[in-house]
Amino acid sequence: MKFKPETYRIPDEPMRPFIDAEEIWAFLNRTAPVDEEVDRVIDRSLNKHRLTLREVATLLNAATPSQIRKIKEGARELKRNIYGNRVVLFAPLYVGNKCSNECTYCGFRSSNKAQIRKTLSGEELVKEIEALEDNGQKRLILVYGEHAEYDPAFIAETVRTAYRVKKGNGEIRRVNINAAPLTIEGFRTVKEAGIGTYQIFQETYHPEAYRQYHLRGKKADYNNRLTALDRAQEAGLDDVGIGALFGLYDWRFEVMALVRHTNHLEACYNVGPHTISFPRIKDASMLHLGDRHFVTDEDFSRLVAILRLAVPYTGMILTAREPAALRDELLQFGVSQIDGGTHIELGGYTQKEQKQDLNKEQFLIHDDRSLNEIIEELLAQDMLPSFCTACYRLGRTGEHFMEFSVPGFIKRFCTPNAMLTLAEYLVDYAPAETARKGWEVIDRNMKQLNETVGVEVDDRIKRIKRGERDLYF
């Protein structure tokens, strides 16, 4: 797979900053969203082309109800064509909330004396993972504050622990990371532990806004954070995840910057982001932001649709920060991964406290449904809940993954594998009513497979029912 990235005023060079705020604003201010151009851009995306900044600006400037409707319809069609009806499920697991940074929007910031600091012990980590496996989780993202305690060796050991823990038929098959930027050597250390995607969010890509929010600590260095995933690529990490925290600056700028970051990775490393995340500012302990760039639900749904069209091949993550109804809606416009049964308090999966305590957590979550409740809702929408991790074990990562994802071949593998991981869940963890609905959805999807694949999937499902696990294509 060979990308064809755009050329912008700041050349894309490895390990070099690349955001030109003036250039981004020039695109936004000088691009007129005429109907014909909006239609052309959507058609180009539907032909599986990653959009340029000018094209993204065209969609961002769209204002008429007709234009916005076309954008959402296009995103819906694109997701259906590339990703089918499967939705990947995962769980976040907070390992430690100590932090040396002073970020004004975060409950973990160093000056917040109300925050109860904790790092899970080895025994506590094992119990949390066992609790997650008891619910049927197979994919984790481990989350850490930025603190000297959470160095690469510590992160790597927690990853190895997650893979070691087995309870019943439960096991963790994919461990992703959300943690501080590392050195190249540090990234090599965590790579050796077998991590999946390493997520680092820029929070806001606007340099001046960034300085206003990040007052002290290593995170105050804008360029160090901006080039962090370059270091990950230099270290040999195949999959990286980018993101912005919407509500810190103008949401249109952040969408443009995420696409600009995508271009940088394509130009320098011939690989795009494995995932894009777009969390919105939520309440947190002792939160102080001043004037906030609030993003309405309507604008939020638009930006999700535009990001889907802008980068067709990339997975898009929507977390439990958002309420259930909105999450269900945005699944239609491009979201491909969500968390389920989420607890973000340290030790929350074993304690299972019903009421959130923001002095123990990073932010307020708004979707507190159990994993099974989310699975039931997905099944009711005729979607395929998936715990699949096949690509990572078969080496379909990095550039190799892009060979499948960029042309839009994802669902060729993902739909059968989603059915197999759902079958595991139905046999091992699902209540009777959920199981009934799940088998009905699997049967309907079986009819849409070609005959050869259908026979192979049916055989594997029979083997799962007989007790075999971890079967995949």
Give pLDDT tens digits for 289-298. Answer: 555 788 999 9
Distance of CA 156 to the CA centre of its chain: 21
Asked whether residue 64 is domain-assigned, the answer is no
Q: Kindly state whether residues 381 and 432 are assigned to the same domain.
A: no
- Whether the CB-CB separation of 102 and 288 falls below 8 Å is answered with no
Query: Rounded distance, CA 257 to CA 84, Å?
Result: 28
Asked whether residue 26 is domain-assigned, the answer is no
pLDDT score of 284: 52
Asked whether residue 56 is domain-assigned, the answer is no
pLDDT score of 414: 85
Q: Which amino acid is at 306?
A: I
Name the E strands within 222-356.
240-243, 275-277, 315-318, 337-339
Residue 283's pLDDT band (cuts 50, 70, 90)? low
Across the range 36-57, mean pLDDT stands at 97
Report helix, strand and coil shares of the chain as percent, to nearest 5.
45, 10, 40
Q: Kindly state whether residues 307 and 331 are assigned to the same domain.
A: yes
Neighbours of 408 (CB within 10 A): 17
Asked whether residue 292 is domain-assigned, the answer is yes
Q: Kindly state whether residues 245 and 354 are assigned to the same domain.
A: yes
Residue 351's pLDDT band (cuts 50, 70, 90)? confident
Asked whether residue 184 is domain-assigned, the answer is yes
CATH number at residue 286: 3.20.20.70
Asked whether residue 291 is domain-assigned, the answer is yes
Sign of CA dihedral 217, 222, 225, 227: negative
Element (H, E) at 394: none
Q: Kindly state whether residues 340 and 419 are assigned to the same domain.
A: no
Q: Kindly state whether residues 249 and 181 are assigned to the same domain.
A: yes
Classified as helix, coil or strand, 323 is: coil
Q: Kindly state whether residues 208 and 292 are assigned to the same domain.
A: yes
Q: Kindly state whether residues 239 and 293 are assigned to the same domain.
A: yes
User: Residue 434 sits in which domain range?
Assistant: 411-465
Residue whose tokens read 């823990």: 165
- Per-residue pLDDT of 392-418, as tens digits, reads 666 666 555 555 555 656 667 789 999
Q: Kindly give the residue spans of alpha helices, DSSP state H, lying in 294-370.
A: 297-310, 324-330, 348-351
- Per-residue pLDDT of 111-143, as tens digits, reads 888 888 999 999 999 999 999 999 999 999 999
- Whether the CB-CB separation of 267 and 218 falls below 8 Å is answered with no
Q: Which of 403, 419, 445 is the last residue of a domain?
A: 403
Classified as helix, coil or strand, 214 is: strand
Asked whether residue 122 is domain-assigned, the answer is yes
| Residue 385 token pair | 């809940």
Q: Kindly state whether residues 192 and 229 are assigned to the same domain.
A: yes
Across the range 221-228, mean pLDDT stands at 98
Asked whether residue 67 is domain-assigned, the answer is no
Task: Say if residue 64 is exposed, middle or buried (CB neighbours under 10 Å; 0-12, 13-18, 19+).
Answer: exposed
Q: Kindly state whether residues 185 and 332 are assigned to the same domain.
A: yes
Q: Which of 358, 376, 403 is the last residue of a domain?
A: 403
Q: What share of the chain in percent tops pLDDT 70? A: 91
Q: Which of 358, 385, 403 is the last residue of a domain?
A: 403
Give me the number of domains the chain comprises: 2
Longest CA span, the chain: 62
Residue whose tokens read 């058609």: 43
Q: Kindly give the residue spans of alpha helices, DSSP state H, lying in 47-151.
A: 53-60, 65-83, 122-134
Q: Kindly state whether residues 424 and 323 are assigned to the same domain.
A: no
Asked whether residue 355 carries a pLDDT value surpassing 80, the answer given is: no
Q: Kindly state whether residues 428 and 307 are assigned to the same domain.
A: no
pLDDT score of 290: 54
Q: Kindly state whether residues 365 and 426 are assigned to the same domain.
A: no
Q: Of the given ranges (51-55, 67-71, 250-254, 351-355), which has the lowest mean pLDDT?
A: 351-355
Sign of CA dihedral 352, 354, 360, 362: positive
Nearest alpha-carbon partner for 1 in 394, 401, 268, 313: 401
